[in-house]
Structure 1
């Protein structure tokens, strides 16, 4: 068995993808259901529609995709549907757990898929030390055949990655980006200034701020809807046209706020169901959006019509 050092050294000499692939607007896809089963027809159609609207990439089986409610076989079938519909648009697969051996097996099983990367969260429930978190991410990155995007989301995992830990992980050649849900502006700025990780916000309310600070983009849930406006926002910031970007962002804010007024992805699925794209169905213990929020979402839908 090669040592950690030798594996990392081997990776460093291998050809690695361009880190700039992790930029722009990525969609954290919902997983549609129909009578309790994954609705692959709806998932294919949704991914196809989003691909045509100029998104940069997709994330399958993240938290928005209710991955924790899918078994491993279902997750792989979801991934295959997304890959088929994406038609070459980059796809990242969510990977999570707390048993290192089992998560390593997930990583190895995903090696046969043409992925742009893996979105890897800290082990939930365990709350390891910073040394433990370093070991976790390095071990998974060593085992991966594709780049790793760190998913920093302490309110779901219970584990907070410090700035120092993230900067140490940035030295690993396979770790190339971060989905930043850490809620720490200072940490976000430090990672952007360091420049080794592409910083994509995973908090939709922080999209404009992160872009304005120099972040690479966003992995967004609410950009399932009004997708062209979110793409336009990215383009306006990239062109340094901040007044126009601010105007686009302010128009999007009521939707962003409504999308997270109740646990994600319930509001998002309610809106997509109103538009006829998916059924308003989630897996327990997730529940559909409340009647009051549903009415608020329908009003937003009507106001957004040309």
Structure 2
């Protein structure tokens, strides 16, 4: 299996009961919706609140996701600032039927090129699956190092970069430094622009609520039909990210009846969404677009 066999990956939310405990039945239901749409599934990413979950909760998420016998591939997030913990997590995940790992730039410590290279080489060496390295400086506090990319681009387990800096210039700089690697957009709204710069797919938040529509959106963007997708998708993406991710996504999923509760783990809270009517309007606009394009 190659990560690039799948153009659209969904960074799936982690549903919870009102008391904050995991709602594994809702998680299974969401994964089945992604399977029906043909979207790969990423669990325990930023959207899945992976860093807010304890180890036992994370284990339950991986056990559930890997037990569903879906046709689409499953990717598991690996991220933090303690290397030993991440290596133990990878080793734990090896016992399950998963297909890939997402390796996040180290958090908080802001390592330089040599530190990043040592970090990612350790994780890539430990993994027995293809890996996607995730650049998201707005969350980690440090940009992915070009020097690290050049050093590790030929590692047999390093296949894809998820670029979520929000900068097309950075995307072009990274892809030029490691043309052997595939690059995916980590930003729903920027995907048409990243597609023109050569990206191979999207790791999406919006596909949680619009699985089939985002699948088509990515196909069109990669086929060079970006101008047809704007400004509708930018407008709806802006609404979906008006509050910190994944707050609006969970609120809209509950409104659609796809999860039982929009509960999040602190410090995130549903109270950040001030006007749910905006989310409902965006949902209607995307559903109308999808129906018209059938």
Please give the TM-score of this superposition, normalised by the length of structure 1: 0.87
Gaps of 5+ in 1: 1-16
Larger Rg: 1
Distance 2:138 2:56 in 1: 27
Q: Of 23, 29, 32, which aligns to 1:45?
A: 29
Cα-Cα RMSD: 1.9
* Inter-CA distance 44–19: structure 2 relative to 1 (3 Å threshold): closer
Distance 2:124 2:284 in 1: 45
The residue aligned with 1:250 is: 231
* Inter-CA distance 253–268: structure 2 relative to 1 (3 Å threshold): same
* Inter-CA distance 304–103: structure 2 relative to 1 (3 Å threshold): closer
Distance 1:217 1:232 in 2: 12
Distance 2:95 2:27 in 1: 21
After superposition, residues 222-261 of structure 1 pair within 5 angstroms as 222-240=206-224, 242=225, 245-261=226-242
Residues 94, 128 of structure 2: 8 Å contact kept: yes
Q: What do residues 199-252 of structure 1 show as CA deviations (whole Å, max 9, x unaligned)? A: 111122211111222101011111212222221122224444x2xx43234322
Residues 163, 187 of structure 1: 8 Å contact kept: no
3-state SS of the aligned residue for 2:65? Answer: helix
Q: What do residues 115-173 of structure 1 show as CA deviations (whole Å, max 9, x unaligned)? A: 22111112212111210100000011111111221111112112222323223221212
* Inter-CA distance 32–203: structure 2 relative to 1 (3 Å threshold): same
Following TM superposition, by how much is the alpha carbon of 1:105 offset from its aligned partner in structure 2, in angstroms?
A: 1.0
Distance 1:228 1:19 in 2: 19
Residues 177, 197 of structure 1: 8 Å contact kept: yes
Q: Of 131, 148, 151, which aligns to 2:134?
A: 151
* Inter-CA distance 76–253: structure 2 relative to 1 (3 Å threshold): same
* Inter-CA distance 84–249: structure 2 relative to 1 (3 Å threshold): farther
* Inter-CA distance 134–215: structure 2 relative to 1 (3 Å threshold): same
The residue aligned with 1:206 is: 190
Distance 1:251 1:26 in 2: 21
Moved more, 81-90 or 98-107: 81-90
Distance 2:100 2:15 in 1: 23
Residues 77, 102 of structure 2: 8 Å contact kept: yes
Residues 229, 248 of structure 1: 8 Å contact kept: no
Please give the TM-score of this superposition, normalised by the length of structure 2: 0.90
Distance 1:292 1:160 in 2: 32
Q: What do residues 245-294 of structure 1 show as CA deviations (whole Å, max 9, x unaligned)? A: 43234322222111111100000011111101111211111110545332
Distance 1:18 1:49 in 2: 22
After superposition, residues 96-115 of structure 1 pair within 5 angstroms as 96-115=79-98
Distance 1:25 1:18 in 2: 13
The residue aligned with 1:117 is: 100
The residue aligned with 1:270 is: 251
In the alignment, structure 1 residue 81 sits paired with structure 2 residue 64: yes
Moved more, 257-266 or 103-112: 103-112
* Inter-CA distance 116–305: structure 2 relative to 1 (3 Å threshold): closer
Gaps of 5+ in 2: 289-294
* Inter-CA distance 26–249: structure 2 relative to 1 (3 Å threshold): farther
Distance 2:228 2:162 in 1: 25
The residue aligned with 2:204 is: 220
Distance 2:207 2:190 in 1: 13
Distance 2:280 2:10 in 1: 22
